[in-house]
Chains A and B, each alone.
Chain A
Amino acid sequence: DAGVTQSPTHLIKTRGQQVTLRCSPKSGHDTVSWYQQALGQGPQFIFQYYEEEERQRGNFPDRFSGHQFPNYSSELNVNALLLGDSALYLCASSRRGYNEQFFGPGTRLTVL
């Protein structure tokens, strides 16, 4: 049973560029949440997708957007990258009606 997977593992971009990160949920899960973890801090909630719609959003600007596909996988897009967007981006999946979340290995984004 595959767990949550994310790609790519690492990514280096320059300011102003756009980036797309990908996540495949754990088998049997239909809900995907995205988190940003800056160095030395706890993860912060970006948004959650269920039934291909954004269900709730944390305190992040519109430069952060996402998508969920019919197979429940998800993408996180960040436009107009800033140096402060450098972080570990974590994807979590869960099954609707069950609160426990499971996390992927993360994508480490560096913005130069």
Chain B
Amino acid sequence: GIQVEQSPPDLILQEGANSTLRCNFSDSVNNLQWFHQNPWGQLINLFYIPSGTKQNGRLSATTVATERYSLLYISSSQTTDSGVYFCAVERDNYGQNFVFGPGTRLSVLP
């Protein structure tokens, strides 16, 4: 099956700093999403981005499908950005067998 790697596994930032999270995947995909899991376990949709670049406020994401990686950029980080960031991919359509990476745990210090 498809393999998903995320780096770094852990990241500690001072409030206001910028960061880049990376997701590598082993095969071509039809779906790629970035999620933020808050301390209560809720997975919050950040981006649906199988290819290209998107921006939403302080967050942006780029997926280079031909090179099988995606990047999530967080600018001017805030303490509320803390949590675990997951990349998830799907080879097929319709959300079947959606495969998650191991996550990047981000801690933003005041």
> What is A's interface to B at a CB cutoff of 8 Å?
31, 33, 35, 37, 41-45, 48, 50, 55-56, 58, 88, 90, 92, 94, 96-97, 99-103, 105-106, 108
The prevalent SS among residues of A at the interface is strand
**CB atoms of A108 and B96 under 8 A apart:** no
Q: Among A31, A55, A100, which residue has its beta carbon within 8 angstroms of that of B31?
A: A100
Given known A-B contacts A31-B94, A94-B94, A106 and B41 have beta carbons under 8 A apart: yes
* Bound CA span A19–B35, Å: 28
B63-99 to A contact mask, C-beta < 8 Å, 1/0: 0000000000000000000000010101001111111
Q: Among A44, A99, A100, which residue has its beta carbon within 8 angstroms of that of B45?
A: A100
Chain A residues contacting B17 (CB-CB under 8 Å) are none
**CB atoms of A42 and B100 under 8 A apart:** yes
B27-45 to A contact mask, C-beta < 8 Å, 1/0: 0001101010000111101
Can you pick out 27 interface pairs between chain A and chain B where the beta carbons lie within 8 Å of each other?
A33-B95, A35-B98, A35-B100, A41-B102, A42-B88, A42-B100, A42-B101, A43-B43, A43-B88, A45-B99, A48-B94, A56-B97, A58-B97, A90-B41, A90-B43, A92-B98, A94-B94, A99-B30, A99-B31, A99-B90, A99-B94, A100-B31, A100-B33, A101-B98, A103-B35, A106-B42, A108-B41
Chain A residues contacting B102 (CB-CB under 8 Å) are 41-42
* Bound CA span A50–B103, Å: 28
**CB atoms of A94 and B41 under 8 A apart:** no
Q: Among A35, A55, A97, which residue has its beta carbon within 8 angstroms of that of B96?
A: A55
**CB atoms of A102 and B94 under 8 A apart:** no
Chain A residues contacting B33 (CB-CB under 8 Å) are 100-101
B3-34 to A contact mask, C-beta < 8 Å, 1/0: 00000000000000000000000000011010
Chain A residues contacting B90 (CB-CB under 8 Å) are 99
* Bound CA span A43–B45, Å: 14
Given known A-B contacts A99-B30, A99-B48, A103-B35, A45 and B98 have beta carbons under 8 A apart: yes
